[in-house]
Amino acid sequence: MTDEKPSEAEKPEEKKAEAAKPEAAKPADAAKPADAAKPAAPAAAAPKPAAKAPEPVIPATAGKFEQFLKEHGIPSERLPLSLTIETIAVSGDVLQSALRLLRNSSEVQLDLLLTVSGVESNDTFDSVYHLWSYSNLDELVIKVLVKKSDVPEGDLPAVPSIANFWSAANWHERETYDLMGIRYANHPYMRRILNPWDWEGYPLRRDYKQLVDSLNDKNPHSMR
């Protein structure tokens, strides 16, 4: 089962026809086999899942932070992904200066870093930063998109680390490295945090296959 699922997700277009049959056999889908097949089609055809979002309602503070960054000479691009929160994309080179500015300036106090998450979409690896404020209601999502085609063969996508000036990011970046395989450059301690230190592969990636059966491992020298 575990071996099949990632490969299905990897090539939804090719395997859809085959996948439809075993799915219909499951009791859950047996009631509506035809219904189940229909909505799967647009999802598979769309290159970006989020692009299918039904016309986002732009909130009143549209582009507030994008505008703020522009005034300080940092380019960013608004993404129409979320319905309620402003989402912008910045390039990796300006990430540190952008976050420093958003955290410390007196006009915008985005000083609560909620999470750093890694997301794999069809053609990019995203490092996502959720910023809130301790003192006001502002919210912002910053994404750094690393194109898969830009990542050298056998290497990890790299994003600059912000752990040096924001301790909250330290463990989150380690976790993202551990599970999604995004390397944070200049991180003080870039080491796996949840998995064992000798673990191979990045479990949340779509092409991940478990090399060792961790429950039934017969190797007496194995750390797991």
Task: Give the Cα-Cα-Cα angle 126, 127, 129 (nearest 5 degrees).
Answer: 130
Among 19, 20, 24, 81, binds another protein (CB under 8 A): 81
* Local structure of 89: helix, strand or coil: strand
Strand pairing category for 158-160 and 139-147: unpaired
* Binding residues for another protein restricted to 185-204, rule: CB under 8 A: 192-196, 203-204
Contact call for residue 215 and another protein (CB under 8 A): no
Strands of 124-132's sheet, edge to edge? 77-78, 87-89, 139-147, 124-132, 112-120
Query: Which residues make beta-bridge pairs with 160?
Result: 185
Q: What 8-state DSSP symbol labels residue 152?
A: P
Q: Select 43 or 58, whichever has its Cβ closest to another protein.
A: 43
Spatial separation of the C-alpha atoms in residues 138 and 136, rounded to whole Å? 6
Q: Which is nearer to another protein, 6 or 92 (CB)?
A: 6
Q: What are the beta bridge partners of residue 77?
A: 89
Q: How far apart are CA 170 and CA 183, in angstroms?
A: 12
164 binds another protein (CB under 8 A): no
Nearer to another protein, 76 or 170 (CB): 170
Shortest distance (Å) from residue 98 CB to another protein: 18
Q: Among residue numbers 36 through 75, which ones bind another protein (CB under 8 A)? A: 36, 39-40, 42-43, 46, 49-50, 52-54
When asked if residue 223 is in the footprint of another protein (CB under 8 A), the reply is: no
Q: How far apart are CA 60 and CA 197, in angstroms?
A: 46
Measured CA to CA in angstroms, residue 105 lies from 16, 19, 97, 160 at distances of 50, 52, 11, 21
Regarding 163 and contact with another protein (CB under 8 A), the answer is no
Compare residues 19 and 156 and give the one whose CB is closer to another protein: 19
Footprint of another protein (CB under 8 A):
2, 5, 27-29, 31-32, 35-36, 39-40, 42-43, 46, 49-50, 52-54, 81-85, 111-115, 117, 119-121, 128, 130, 134, 137, 141, 166-168, 170-171, 175, 179, 192-196, 203-204
